[in-house]
Chain A
Amino acid sequence: MSDVEKTQTVSEEARPRLPRGVRLVHNEAQGGFVLLAPERVFKADAIAAEILKRCTGEATVAAIVDDLAKGFSAPRERVLTDVTKLLGSLADKRLLEL
């Protein structure tokens, strides 16, 4: 199975958004942010939560990366790698629209 798995390419111009039926919520009892999806629940770590909060369908990937790089004083290239990796894998699971 894994030999054919490819992650979707994420362009910097894309405006990612969570589709209907996928919601990021904060839950005290579960200890942080969770991504709720059709019959699935994913724990979102602090970095994933920061990225997903910005996936509103308005900001481009480029703008999200700029914002995170600035806000967290991190090298843009590294942030871009992290963001495109997460967004690509979520799109594969149909948890994100690009």
Chain B
Amino acid sequence: MLAPAEKLPTPLGLLAELTHRCPLGCPYCSNPLKLDPRADELDTATWARVFREAAALGVLQVHLSGGEPAARRDLVEITTAARAAGLYANLITSAVGLTGKTLDALADAGLDHVQISIQDSIEASADRIAGYDGAFARKRALAAQVVRLKLPLTVNAVVHRANIERVGDLVEMALALGAGRVEIAHVQYYGWALENRATLMPTPEQVKRAVGEVEKLRAKHHGRIVIDAVVPDYYAKYPKPCVGGWGRRSLNVTPAGRVLPCHAAESIPGLEFWSVRDHSLADIWASSPAFRAFRGTDWMQQPCASCPRRHEDFGGCRCQAFALTGDARATDPVCHLSPKHAIVEELAGVRKEAEYVYRR
């Protein structure tokens, strides 16, 4: 008798990269080196169709992201379409270029949640990291308006060598702004961030202190603010379950409509991505070669293939495995069981003092 086919997982989240345009120049930008040009961006009606197809597939939440999503003039219409499809609409914004008037309209359109990135707790440093004078003030003002509109607010703080010693201040700042949730996100080295890796890389002592401080802050602020933080990749013992497992929990649509299992997936050569211009989302989820490439565990090599953790972390991140070992099927070298783990230890030790290479 034939064994029943493995049940296709049901996705939970859709990352909608509405545009790659962004006013900021963050050195840790994880978007790919080659960005989708404005002329190739999907139009409003196509996004609305994608949202309906996503909801039919079981997706519950859409993350409206970019680039800076507010660079789209139809952001309010797009948000309305997401809610009309029955999705939970989350806006991930730099706050720069998002006017107060647009935010009011987004709230009226039924936006569910806003995440604002803030680069540091000190204004001059925050603006220097973002590569944009006045960004910090703009972000604080917009955060205040989000809270006034009674929308839930998350502050996203990307940490690296220049600001990691202020994780405590960053959490206090998020609390003072009225955020219900704060993300302490250690830089992940993908896309543009690889250009600045040695300049951004924290020291092992900094990482150790920050991890300990976050634990104390969680206890101190329990019930007041949710603190989400993960150990930075290069210092972890086991790899992260990247995107909750390839083709398992989420999908990502690029500004031009290509559907990716994760937002860095195009860095892996040889994968064939399908576009929402040519296929339905359900068809892409089930059948596109890129989604099938690393779904489940059949593709794994040793030590992953026989590892008891393979259903927990799914071998880690495919993009990182490729970037650091040249083999996308390899164990993520972040894992201490990887035969290539020494690469990660070596890279974590490479630091240099240099000007940031800003993303322009």
Contact = CB atoms under 8 A, between A and B. Distances in A.
B218 A1 contact: yes
**Chain A facing B: main interface SS:** loop
Contacts of A34: 60
B58 A39 contact: no
B60 A41 contact: yes
A22 B181 CA distance: 13
B7 to A, nearest CB: 12
A35 to B, nearest CB: 10
Contact of A20 (B58, B90, B152, B219): B152
A91 B152 CA distance: 14
B10 interface: yes
Contacts of B180: 38, 94
B90 A39 contact: yes
A4 interface: yes
Contacts of A29: 10, 56-58
B181 A36 contact: no
Interface string A59-81: 00000000000000000000000
B112 interface: yes
A23 B88 contact: yes
A66 B226 CA distance: 32
A20 B218 contact: no
B152 A38 contact: yes
Nearest to A29: B58
Nearest to B222: A5
A5 B219 CA distance: 7
Contacts of A19: 150, 152
Given A20-B152, A21-B152, A1 B60 contact: no
B175 to A, nearest CB: 12
Q: How big is the A interface, by class?
A: 20 to 34
A25 interface: yes
Given A21-B152, A39-B154, A27 B61 contact: no
A1 B219 contact: yes
A57 to B, nearest CB: 13
B223 A91 contact: yes
Interface string B130-157: 0000000000000000000011101000
A56 interface: no
A30 B113 contact: no
Contact of B61 (A1, A39, A93): A39
A1 B112 contact: no
Interface string B5-42: 00000101100000000000000000000000000000
A8 interface: yes
B112 A36 contact: yes
Nearest to A38: B113
B196 interface: no
A92 interface: yes
A30 B60 CA distance: 9
A55 to B, nearest CB: 16
A4 B58 contact: no
Interface string A22-60: 110101011000101011010000000000000000000
21 contacts: A1-B218, A5-B219, A5-B222, A6-B222, A20-B150, A21-B113, A25-B86, A27-B58, A29-B57, A29-B58, A30-B58, A34-B60, A36-B60, A38-B154, A39-B113, A41-B13, A41-B60, A92-B222, A94-B152, A94-B223, A94-B226
Interface of A: 1, 4-6, 8, 19-23, 25, 27, 29-30, 34, 36, 38-39, 41, 91-94
Given A1-B219, A94-B223, 6 more contacts: A25-B60, A27-B58, A30-B12, A39-B90, A41-B60, A93-B226
Q: Please provide the 9 A-B residue pairs with the shortest distance between their CB atoms, ordered closest to farther.
A: A29-B58, A21-B152, A36-B88, A38-B113, A4-B219, A94-B180, A21-B113, A92-B223, A38-B152
Interface of B: 10, 12-13, 56-58, 60-61, 63, 86, 88, 90, 112-113, 115, 150-152, 154, 180-181, 215, 218-219, 222-223, 225-226
